[in-house]
């Protein structure tokens, strides 16, 4: 008896596939025509790893595709890795959000521990 895949899992897998497809296309374009696309094109998805070059785009596209396929097949390891990726992404978002608040001079955010 095969278990039905929850819609949320399918949606998350599709998001991983879309991100992987974007990274793949950008990485291949960077390899085909150096200088055509800026390394900053993947800054939001790679969180600093984009400076490693187009091969990092391709590597992360492969990782994202692997996670998406694992989620679609309801593999526990994929669920755990996707949760870890989401945790890391939220940490990078919080760091960017903190920098944004500091840029606007907001120093009194509730629970803020920065000077």
Domain residue limits, the chain:
7-103
CA distance 50 to 65: 18
Model pLDDT for residues 50-108, shown as the tens digit of each residue: 777 788 889 999 999 999 999 999 999 999 999 998 888 777 767 666 666 666 666 65
pLDDT tier, 1 (very low <50, low <70, confident <90, very high otherwise): very low
**pTM, two decimal places:** 0.74
Model pLDDT for residues 79-94, shown as the tens digit of each residue: 999 999 888 877 776 7
CA distance 78 to 76: 5
pLDDT tier, 41 (very low <50, low <70, confident <90, very high otherwise): confident
The torsion defined by the Cα of 25, 85, 72 and 62, in degrees rounded to 10, comes to 30
Cβ atoms of 39 and 53 closer than 8 Å = yes
């Amino acid at each position: 008896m095969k278990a039905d895949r929850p819609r949320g899992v399918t949606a998350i897998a599709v998001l991983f596939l879309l991100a992987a497809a974007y990274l793949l296309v950008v990485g291949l374009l960077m390899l085909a025509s150096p200088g055509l696309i800026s390394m900053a094109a993947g800054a939001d998805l790679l969180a600093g790893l984009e400076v490693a070059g187009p091969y990092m785009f391709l590597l992360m596209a492969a990782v994202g595709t692997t996670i998406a396929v694992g989620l679609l097949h309801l593999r526990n390891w994929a669920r755990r890795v996707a949760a870890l990726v989401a945790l890391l992404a939220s940490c990078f978002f919080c760091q960017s959000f903190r920098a944004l608040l500091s840029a606007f001079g907001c120093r009194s955010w509730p629970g803020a521990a920065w000077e």
